Amino acid sequence: MADKVKVTLNDVFYPESIAVVGASSDEEKERRGWTGNLLNFGYKGRLYPVNPKGTQVLGLKIYPSVTAIEEPVDYAILNVSASLVPRLLRECAAKGVKIAHVFTAGFAETGKPEGKSLQEEVKSIVEETGIRLIGPNCLGVHSPDGGMTFANLPKRSGPAGLISQTGAGVGRIVMYGSNRGIFFGKAVSYGNAVDLDSTDYFEMLVGDDQTQFIALYLEGVKDGRRFFNLAMRCLSLGKPLVMLKAGLTEAGREAALSHTGSLAGSEQVWEAFFAQTGAIRVYSLEEIVDQLVALEYLSPRPKGRKVAIIGRGGGPGVVATEMCERVGLKVPPFSPDTRAKLERITTESGSIARNPIEVGVGRAGAQQGYMDAFRIVADSPEIDIILTHVNPEAFVIYGGSPDWIDYSIDALLDIFKTLPKPIALVLTSGETPEGREIVLKAWQRCADAGLTVFRRYESAARVISRTVNYYEFRDRFVNYKD
Amino acid sequence: MADKVKVTLNDVFYPESIAVVGASSDEEKERRGWTGNLLNFGYKGRLYPVNPKGTQVLGLKIYPSVTAIEEPVDYAILNVSASLVPRLLRECAAKGVKIAHVFTAGFAETGKPEGKSLQEEVKSIVEETGIRLIGPNCLGVHSPDGGMTFANLPKRSGPAGLISQTGAGVGRIVMYGSNRGIFFGKAVSYGNAVDLDSTDYFEMLVGDDQTQFIALYLEGVKDGRRFFNLAMRCLSLGKPLVMLKAGLTEAGREAALSHTGSLAGSEQVWEAFFAQTGAIRVYSLEEIVDQLVALEYLSPRPKGRKVAIIGRGGGPGVVATEMCERVGLKVPPFSPDTRAKLERITTESGSIARNPIEVGVGRAGAQQGYMDAFRIVADSPEIDIILTHVNPEAFVIYGGSPDWIDYSIDALLDIFKTLPKPIALVLTSGETPEGREIVLKAWQRCADAGLTVFRRYESAARVISRTVNYYEFRDRFVNYKD
């Protein structure tokens, strides 16, 4: 038994040297492999492809083994057959590698005896040698500032952090986030968690200044008490925690067990966890991104849950109202004062001065009427949040000019930062080819400008309601401590 | 007081002659107006533009008034200022027009005294003269076989029928449906329902042979008992009824009142309605389409609620499992027999022989492994429904070839009709430009082939669960009657 190597955030996310064990000597193959990925992503440290065969790949010398490398090696990526992992892991430990990321699958998650015993062997090597392990059966680290990634993901860094037991999830979340203004400074897919566990990564991100929002996809947690304490520290620090806790239905528990060999825990225990820590519970990978958008971009912070709804289309306004109410937001009637002001801007073409507000059709409605309504509502003390909807396909369906969408978006982008209330836009997803073009353009403009945008009212209402709940919970917690 | 003109489905959806009252004499304007729309959509009956000014538009003679038209007129569309509606409506009645569709807004929905009194006046004209009214404040009729539409909507007809109090909703639903294999033979947006009401249109569609699925967006219903009886007739006839009942939250009730002047009723009353009629309750416009997709394409009809999940990505499989379980579907363990068969097809690359099944990566996994898994599961007596997921962006995120998506879709389209169990595919929506291209292509191929496709697991699980509930309810009802 050796003492485990102490690892810090820097060791995981900014290693100074990386060995790629199992790099191909085939130039074309390795260009799409780990070595190529790191070079392409801008890794600035020392990089060592390792393979018993070959001499050089992508301009780098190939080493026959990790121990043949002359300089020290901080971090090794193992991309070899599962059966070779134990021997190569021992070599890494002998070389003094601090962290090995075992990409390879074929361990306990297979449910087969060979896989299980292979995982036990890996575990005992970690215990014997003290080397630290990411995985096995995982994609590992995405760290734009450290030049590390595992896929074709955006290079832009940001204040979001992600810890995910599923590799498929981490790629999607980072990718989807990048189209919504959510950028991850640090993300990790950690798979079977034979050594480093969710709680270890969680501790790193909680203590990291860059990371201001933490998202977790979890199947099992090993040290529940430590995990809970870290969640409470997030609350004190004001770092919102967004969590998808998987494996809490009977069938989900079985699935998690065979996916990563995790013990998922019980619904009751996790309900208590969410109730006590204020962690924001979500139920799908897409919702993780939606929730982060609300937390990062809904600004200024909503002071309450009273929503004004503004948009074209009577039925969609009614449906939106009910979606808000069903998730605990309020869509109150306007005060006589607000109503009188709104009535002054309504036209014969259909603007309606009630909540939900129906703005008039045509250019005047899309532009001037829209802006006026925002200004009036933003000044109304009975409203905390403004939700607006634009259907970019209206012109495809009803004729008219696609420019109307631009006018509405122009109007929104012109004024949203000057208003004293947070605004969120629901830009329904393009279902027609023409509509899709418009949506993409409008979506990108809004994301670039920092306007909060959602694709469906249902998602918007849910995540905004949870955001308000979170702030209320945090305020109570902070006041209680004082 | 005159007896009201009796109207049938044919009068509403297949009129032999239409007067467009308020047609523009400006060729360009009217090309995008009602006359142009009807001509473009292939209306085959007699068409009469009416305007005191002008002589000819789009090759048709302009009449100075409805009464100046020599031949009989079945149907009139009134697109004039609200204040002119009463006089022109009287003219229509004098001419013997059976049905007037008042497109114009500016009536009770404005909440203003002038609008309310104008609506009262229209109502009394209907009562005095017996002319029947669609609207006011609505888009009216979409009937591909009758050559009628109100927007740039698909010409293809089909077994779906739609009755919607909101115009914005009806356009979206018809348009979104057309990308998902759902085609509407008859749709109507009926607005303030001064005369013909949801129940009247409902009666027409219940009795219509073409209409096999009925979707409703309702704010208020005037004759609750008649409406209930029609819903029960739908159940007997085996025509599934999909309903978004708006206005059942406090704020939603207010919104519905000012949208179409409707009295929405209470949640308790409508809960009882859904419980007794088996009508399928949905909560958003998008869900109406999703629900129709499940009803029309999930074939053969699911015999129970036990689901097998097949796809790439462990985390997404776990999340999908829980989404199914949370809405009342079951994701049971496989029998030893099924498991043994599945184990024979698993490879080292990661296929996992449990429910949810994780298919292996690479071409073999995407193609042969995928098909084999389908065949094995379809033959397992413990499974009623197969749900599968393909992430068209996997290749964008993780590299590899976009062809893998095609291989998976090829495999699915090759076999899904030969299997004895219903299959639904979740094809996650494209969030990257490259992914979007792939999604659009795959989406279209599946829709054309009649494969049930959804965009998110959450929607798929919800509508499939409701579909199973509906069939179970209908079976109990039919058996009870016997």
Check CB contact of A40 with chain B, cutoff 8 Å. no
Name residue B352's beta-bridge partners. B358
Decide: helix, strand or coil at residue A402.
coil
Q: What is the pLDDT of residue B442?
A: 86
A434 pLDDT above the threshold of 90: no
**Which of A117-126, B230-239, B242-251, B282-291 shows the lowest mean pLDDT across its residues?**
B242-251
A366 pLDDT above the threshold of 70: no
Residues of A in contact with B182 (CB under 8 A): none
Q: For A328, which residue in chain B has the nearest alpha carbon?
A: B249
3-state helix, strand, coil in chain A (%, to 5): 50, 15, 35
What is the percent of chain A with per-residue pLDDT over 70, rounded to a whole number?
94
| Contacts of residue B15, Cβ cutoff 8 Å, sequence gap at least 6 | B45, B74, B75, B98, B99, B146, B148
Which residue among B168, B399, B436 sits closest to A316, beta carbon to beta carbon?
Answer: B168
What is the percent of chain A with per-residue pLDDT over 90, rounded to a whole number?
66
A413 pLDDT above the threshold of 60: yes
Residues of A in contact with B354 (CB under 8 A): 111, 254-255, 258
Cβ separation of A168 and B391 shorter than 8 Å? yes
Give the Å distances, CA to CA, from B82 to A318, B87, B90, B102, B108.
24, 10, 14, 9, 11
| Contacts of residue B139, Cβ cutoff 8 Å, sequence gap at least 6 | B103, B150, B151, B167, B170, B171, B189, B191
A142 pLDDT above the threshold of 70: yes
Cβ separation of B168 and A312 shorter than 8 Å? yes
pLDDT band at B249 (very low <50, low <70, confident <90, very high): confident
Check CB contact of B72 with chain A, cutoff 8 Å. no
Check CB contact of B224 with chain A, cutoff 8 Å. no
> pLDDT averaged over chain B?
90
Which residue among A255, A317, A349 sits closest to B317, beta carbon to beta carbon?
Answer: A255
CB B87 within 8 A of CB B121: no
Tokens coding A445: 């403009």
d(CA A38, CA A16): 13
CB B450 within 8 A of CB B297: yes
**Which of A200-209, A431-440, B54-63, B413-422 shows the lowest mean pLDDT across its residues?**
A431-440
Decide: helix, strand or coil at residue A149.
coil
Q: What is the pLDDT of residue A350?
A: 53
d(CA A5, CA A16): 16
A:82-141 residues touching chain B, CB 8 A cutoff: 82, 105-106, 109-111
Mutation choice for A interface testing from B289, B322, B344 by most A CBs within 10 A: B322
Residues of A in contact with B151 (CB under 8 A): 397-399
B224 pLDDT above the threshold of 70: yes
In Å, how far is B481's CA from the nearest CA of chain A? 36
Q: What is the pLDDT of residue A438?
A: 80
| Contacts of residue A141, Cβ cutoff 8 Å, sequence gap at least 6 | A12, A13, A101, A134, A148, A149, A150, A186, A187, A188
pLDDT band at A136 (very low <50, low <70, confident <90, very high): very high
Q: What is the pLDDT of residue A407?
A: 82
Q: Where are the beta strands (DSSP E) in A71-138?
A: 75-78, 99-102, 132-134
CB A180 within 8 A of CB A293: yes
Mutation choice for A interface testing from B31, B319, B329 by most A CBs within 10 A: B319
Q: What is the pLDDT of residue A349?
A: 45
Question: Which residue pairs, CB below 8 angstroms and at least 24 apart, start in A364-370?
Answer: A365/A312, A366/A312, A366/A404, A366/A405, A366/A407, A366/A408, A366/A411, A367/A407, A367/A408, A367/A410, A367/A411, A368/A411, A369/A345, A370/A310, A370/A408, A370/A411, A370/A412
Q: What is the pLDDT of residue A261?
A: 67
Which residue among B166, B250, B397 sits closest to A175, beta carbon to beta carbon?
Answer: B397
A451 pLDDT above the threshold of 90: yes
Cβ separation of B315 and A168 shorter than 8 Å? yes
| Mean pLDDT computed over A186-198 | 94
Check CB contact of A290 with chain B, cutoff 8 Å. no
Cβ separation of A355 and B251 shorter than 8 Å? yes
pLDDT band at A179 (very low <50, low <70, confident <90, very high): confident
Check CB contact of A193 with chain B, cutoff 8 Å. no
Question: A245-249, B171-175, B201-205, B408-412 — which one is most confidently predicted on average?
Answer: B201-205
Q: What is the pLDDT of residue A481?
A: 60
Cβ separation of A456 and B353 shorter than 8 Å? no
B250 pLDDT above the threshold of 80: no
CB A136 within 8 A of CB A192: yes
pLDDT tens digit sequence for B116-152? 999 999 999 999 999 999 999 999 999 999 999 998 8
Cβ separation of B152 and A399 shorter than 8 Å? yes
Cβ separation of B106 and A355 shorter than 8 Å? no
B365 pLDDT above the threshold of 70: no
Tokens coding B87: 């006089």
d(CA A357, CA A377): 10
Q: What is the pLDDT of residue B119?
A: 96
B349 pLDDT above the threshold of 50: no
| Mean pLDDT computed over A166-171 | 83
Residue predicted with more confidence, A429 or A450: A450
pLDDT tens digit sequence for A145-161? 999 999 889 999 999 99
pLDDT tens digit sequence for B158-204? 999 999 988 778 888 999 898 889 999 999 999 899 999 999 999 99
pLDDT band at A362 (very low <50, low <70, confident <90, very high): low
The 8-class DSSP code of residue B138 comes to S
Q: What is the pLDDT of residue B261?
A: 67
A409 pLDDT above the threshold of 60: yes
- pTM score, two decimals? 0.92
d(CA B170, CA B367): 39
What does R_g of chain A's alpha carbons equal in angstroms?
26
pLDDT band at B395 (very low <50, low <70, confident <90, very high): confident
Residues of B in contact with A172 (CB under 8 A): 391, 393, 397, 428
Q: SS in 3 state form for B277-338?
A: HCCEECCCHHHHHHHHHHHHHCCCCCCCCEEEEEECCHHHHHHHHHHHHHCCCECCCCCHHH
Which residue among B314, B332, B440 sits closest to A168, beta carbon to beta carbon?
Answer: B314
B350 pLDDT above the threshold of 70: no
B348 pLDDT above the threshold of 50: no
Q: What is the pLDDT of residue B347?
A: 58
Q: Please state whether B99 falls in left (phi above 0), alpha (psi between -120 and 50) or beta.
A: beta
Q: What is the pLDDT of residue A348?
A: 46
> pLDDT averaged over chain A?
90
β-strand pairing of B17-21 with B75-78: parallel
| Mean pLDDT computed over B218-237 | 92
Q: What is the pLDDT of residue A64?
A: 97
Check CB contact of B316 with chain A, cutoff 8 Å. yes
A382 pLDDT above the threshold of 90: yes
Check CB contact of A250 with chain B, cutoff 8 Å. yes
Measured from the Cβ of residue B65, the count of other Cβ atoms closer than 10 Å reads: 16
Cβ separation of A166 and B398 shorter than 8 Å? no
Cβ separation of A396 and B175 shorter than 8 Å? yes
Q: What is the pLDDT of residue A361?
A: 58
pLDDT tens digit sequence for A77-103? 999 999 999 999 999 999 999 999 999
A24 pLDDT above the threshold of 70: yes
Q: What is the pLDDT of residue B364?
A: 60
